[in-house]
Chains A and B, each alone.
Chain A
Amino acid sequence: MSSTILYTIISLSATGAISAVILYFVAQRFKVYEDPRIDQVEDALPAANCGGCGYAGCRNFAEACVKNENLSGLFCTVGGNETMSKVASILGVDAVSQDPKVAVVRCAGSYDKRPRINIYDGPSSCVLQSILYPGDTGCPYGCLGHGDCVNACDFDAIHMDLKTGLPVVIDEKCTACNACVLACPKHIIELRKKNKKDRKIFVCCINEEKGAIAKKSCEVACIGCGKCVKACAYDAITLENYLAYIDPVKCVLCRKCVGVCPTNSIHEINFPPRKNLDGTDATVDVEIVENL
């Protein structure tokens, strides 16, 4: 009885020892060299695996950083400049810095501002609805409201406002990973430069139709009147295809354009309430902020 146990132990140990020797030489022979810096860079990255950098995940991005030897064209928007300077110090190259950005929804066509003219009863998906037809309102450019952007967001930074039927971005959570921008079939969401105290001024409309047609389908559409272009002293506003666009880089947040817009389609967000000459609050602008 005891000899059976003894033989078993001896034979198994021998098999183990021989296998260990074979495996050692095999491992030596087929060894794959991996740059240890890849692991270091990966540890420095936020591990969100969001794909915002254009690579499949953080590991993939780390490999690309190490392989490229310089960081041009490589940027992790989630980690931002801080992470990228860490990565640069690991690799011993110059860091690339970018202005932080934030996603902005450029449609204000809420239920009360943009009447529904037909009923869509298919599956709830913006991409699918946009394949079938332009949408259930008169505006062929506007938000469809099924929340493809919400599903695309890995950071819980965008959600649908049930009162307006429009998506709302939470600035603190948004990492500018670009996922919602790609998910939106109407190309409503734009990444814009993040300003001090999350202040924003932008044209909240992408309707390129002539003024009368745009206004008919939506109360708060940009009608391309050009008043904001004249009001801007910094040459930041351009008008193309009956649609104004505020360049986030040139804009100095002076708010002159907001007051002149006849349809209130230029939105100012996170600004203190504006004082009129007699010291009272100008409530019209506050109302817009509340709507969003």
Chain B
Amino acid sequence: MLKTFNKGGIHPAENKITAGKPISTLPVPPIAIIPVLQHIGTPANPLVKKGDKVKTGQMIASGEGFIAANIHSSVTGTVTRVDKLTDASGYKRTAIEIETSSDEWMNDIDLNPGLVTDVSLSIPEIMVRTWDQGIVGMGGATFPTHVKMVFPRGIKAECLIINGAECEPYVTADHRLMLEKGEEIMIGISIVKSAIGIEKAIIGIENNKPDGIENLQRISSRFPGITVQGLKVKYPQGSEKHLIKSLTGRAVPSGGLPIDVGIVVFNIGTMFAVYEAVQKNKPLIERTVTVTGKSLKNPSNFRVRIGTPVSELIKAAGGLPDHASKIIAGGPMMGKALNTLDVPVTKGMSGLLVLDDIESKRKPVQNCIRCTRCVTVCPMGIEPYLIMSMVEKEKCEFLDDCHINDCMECGSCSYICPANRPLLDYIRLGKARLKKRKQQK
């Protein structure tokens, strides 16, 4: 039986045009730009300086503090600068630029393509590996994985949920991983399961990937404790809280974390990264990116090195089409439009979407007619139209009562609004105003 969450949600056109395209490995880029902040938390501290020679897989920036992650070089070459360079946010942040010479990997990395099924490491060693190799959540939020694997004292997790929903339209990176790296993902899940002492793991996959469900179900019969559960297609099912609601019926409290209801959630891509880190000692220097768009010549799924400039990906997908007007890092719902093609692929970039001028055009904004469709579709149960009018009238004192910070910015309200009102934009503005107001107090 297929499950789903009960409150809100929308059904945008799926447009998974790259679902049938196998993952192809992109050649090593001539220049890699590796930002030191690719995760949630404090930026990593650069360990290299201009002129240093680095090898593929060498640590070039170390995470400082608990919520942080190490950064590794994804290419072999010479560091040309450690400077403030534009990242996907558009702002300039510290990054390490490396000019590639060859592709020489660190000696301790296992490059043998064969599957390693036996886990030889002890639990503390597994924890250290995930920290050392800079593993972060690959779904987009990029929360450091080692942080999620350690619980506050006295709290015990009961269930591990693996997020294979991939509810964003267009993006198929996780779908292809399920089909091509099913075994590795399963081993990754059992590693995490044993490391955090949980018996039960559920993989939630949306029903628009029947081949993915079938493949993982077939493999999971060999792995006790792991079940695969199909989900009804509904956006934003890939949100942590909604996936938990769909699979277990538990509701994470407002402002709370999944661990509050005894659940830990990881992404499919993260599990593959954990497998590579623990079994092959390979740091997180590659990821799967879906380069897609209806106007692209060759939309496809690529395995690319972190730090590859986005322009290289577009080139590999057939070059920028004539009428391209918007390039989005991530999916169309929650992704971020880029203002230059020089930005690098980071650990959290799951897709790259090229929209032409007709697709990306905003329609004229009309008046709100109180149809409450935004309220109906809001998966968090807040009232976007009300928040928008509060923000427009600068009544910031009511925003907290409207639970504005529960908003996860999924964009369902803006998508559904028949008057084309930019609801999400105003919610973001309200969040910023509220934050400033609290700081001033």
CB contacts (< 8 Å) of A117 on chain B: these are 339
Return the contact of A140 from the options B92, B336, B362 (Cβ within 8 A).
Answer: B92
Given A123-B422, A133-B339: A128 touches B92 (CB 8 Å cut-off):
no
Smallest beta-carbon distance A117→chain B, Å:
7
Q: Chain A interface: which of B51-59, B122-130, B425-433? A: B425-433
Return the contact of B429 from the options A123, A140, A209 (Cβ within 8 A).
Answer: A123
Asked if residues B429 and A134 are in contact (CB atoms below 8 Å), the reply is: no
**For this complex, into which size category does the number of interface residues on chain B fall?**
10 to 19
CB contacts (< 8 Å) of B361 on chain A: these are 121
Given A122-B425, A123-B422: A140 touches B432 (CB 8 Å cut-off):
no
List A84-109 residues whose CB lies under 8 Å from chain B: none
Contact with B along A108-129 (1 / 0, CB 8 A): 0000000001100111010110
List B318-374 residues whose CB lies under 8 Å from chain A: 336-337, 339, 361-362
Q: Is A254 an interface residue (CB 8 A)?
A: no
Smallest beta-carbon distance B263→chain A, Å:
31
Smallest beta-carbon distance A208→chain B, Å:
10
Asked if residues B432 and A133 are in contact (CB atoms below 8 Å), the reply is: no
Smallest beta-carbon distance B55→chain A, Å:
30
Smallest beta-carbon distance B32→chain A, Å:
21
Q: Is A162 an interface residue (CB 8 A)?
A: no
CB contacts (< 8 Å) of A6 on chain B: these are none
Q: Is B381 an interface residue (CB 8 A)?
A: no
Taken together as a complex, chains A and B put the C-alpha atoms of A209 and B84 apart, in Å, by: 9
- How many residues does chain A have at the interface if contact means C-beta atoms less than 8 Å apart? 15
Q: Is B24 an interface residue (CB 8 A)?
A: no
List B358-406 residues whose CB lies under 8 Å from chain A: 361-362
Q: Is B15 an interface residue (CB 8 A)?
A: no
Smallest beta-carbon distance A89→chain B, Å:
32
- SS of B interface (majority): mixed
Contact with B along A199-217 (1 / 0, CB 8 A): 0000000000100000000
CB contacts (< 8 Å) of A128 on chain B: these are 425-426, 428-429, 432
Asked if residues B90 and A134 are in contact (CB atoms below 8 Å), the reply is: yes
Taken together as a complex, chains A and B put the C-alpha atoms of A125 and B90 apart, in Å, by: 17
Asked if residues A127 and B90 are in contact (CB atoms below 8 Å), the reply is: no
Q: Is A131 an interface residue (CB 8 A)?
A: yes
Q: Is B89 an interface residue (CB 8 A)?
A: yes
Taken together as a complex, chains A and B put the C-alpha atoms of A33 and B285 apart, in Å, by: 71
CB contacts (< 8 Å) of A123 on chain B: these are 422, 425-426, 429
Given A121-B362, A131-B432: A140 touches B425 (CB 8 Å cut-off):
no
Taken together as a complex, chains A and B put the C-alpha atoms of A122 and B428 apart, in Å, by: 12
Measured CB to CB, the nearest residue on chain A to B388 is A123
Given A117-B339, A118-B339, A133-B337: A125 touches B429 (CB 8 Å cut-off):
yes
Asked if residues A134 and B91 are in contact (CB atoms below 8 Å), the reply is: yes
CB contacts (< 8 Å) of B337 on chain A: these are 132-133
CB contacts (< 8 Å) of A121 on chain B: these are 361-362
Return the contact of A127 from the options B89, B91, B339, B429 (Cβ within 8 A).
Answer: B429
Taken together as a complex, chains A and B put the C-alpha atoms of A136 and B337 apart, in Å, by: 12
Instruction: With a 10 A CB-CB cut-off, give which of A118, A131, A133, A134 has the most chain B CB atoms.
Output: A133
Taken together as a complex, chains A and B put the C-alpha atoms of A125 and B429 apart, in Å, by: 9
Taken together as a complex, chains A and B put the C-alpha atoms of A214 and B89 apart, in Å, by: 19
CB contacts (< 8 Å) of A134 on chain B: these are 90-91, 339
Measured CB to CB, the nearest residue on chain A to B91 is A134
Taken together as a complex, chains A and B put the C-alpha atoms of A128 and B427 apart, in Å, by: 10
Given A121-B362, A140-B92: A127 touches B433 (CB 8 Å cut-off):
yes
Contact with A along B402-435 (1 / 0, CB 8 A): 0000000000000000000010011011001100
Give 18 CB contacts A-B under 8 Å.
A121-B361, A123-B429, A125-B429, A127-B432, A128-B429, A128-B432, A131-B428, A132-B90, A132-B336, A133-B89, A133-B90, A133-B91, A133-B336, A133-B337, A134-B90, A134-B91, A140-B90, A209-B92
17 new A-B contacts at CB < 8 Å, known A134-B90, A134-B91: A117-B339, A118-B339, A123-B426, A123-B429, A127-B429, A127-B432, A128-B425, A128-B426, A128-B428, A132-B90, A132-B337, A132-B428, A133-B89, A133-B91, A133-B337, A134-B339, A209-B92
Closest 7 CB pairs of A and B: A133-B90, A128-B429, A134-B90, A121-B362, A123-B425, A118-B339, A123-B422
